[in-house]
Amino acid sequence: MPADCKRVIPQELVTVFRMCHHDHAGWTVQEVADLMGRSEDWVLDRLSEMEVLAPQLFPILTPRQHRVRTMVRLGLTNAQMAQLLKISCSTVSNVLVTLRNKGCLESVPDAVAVVSYESSMDNQIKEKF
């Protein structure tokens, strides 16, 4: 790619993005505004500019959304996530809906079948082999 075709993203936008993005600092818009001595609207405007310049870096998840998404990928149930995060199961469900709406979850079933083992099955298994 020729040098003149590269996008130049102002450092101010990069800084705001990194402060807000879940893979970096993960601060809220209000926290970033306070730290930078700016208004929340100013921070939101910078994030909007960044999204236009680099849409592949979005959406930005809240820390809770990021944790839930990670736990889903690890195969935890809603109840397990709720217990670990010290939130209700309905809150976990709401976060999952938000993540699906943002397109941040691969197709994940609402309920995962649990396979259990019982020793009485040993004979059935031996008979099949």
Tell me how far CA of residue 8 lies from CA of 4, 15, 18, 34, in angstroms.
Answer: 10, 14, 16, 26
Per-residue model confidence as pLDDT tens digits over 64-92: 998 999 999 899 999 999 999 999 999 99
**Do 49 and 8 belong to one domain?**
yes
Share of the chain above pLDDT 90, in %: 40
Q: Which residue has the higher pLDDT, 9 or 92?
A: 92
Q: Which domain holds residue 49?
A: 3-57
Q: How confident is the model at residue 129 (pLDDT cuts 50, 70, 90)?
A: very low
Task: Pick 97 or 124 by higher pLDDT.
Answer: 97
Domain count for the chain: 2
pLDDT at 121: 56
**Domain presence at residue 128:** no
* Residues 8, 53 within the same domain: yes
Length of the chain: 129
The residue out of 40, 57, 74 marking a domain boundary is: 57
* pLDDT of 113: 44
Higher pLDDT, 127 or 87: 87
What integer pLDDT is reported at residue 76 of this predicted model?
92
Q: Is the sign of the CA dihedral 50, 56, 59, 62 positive or negative?
A: negative
37-68 pLDDT, tens digit per residue, is 999 999 999 999 998 888 888 888 888 998 99
Is there a single domain that holds both residue 70 and residue 48?
Answer: no
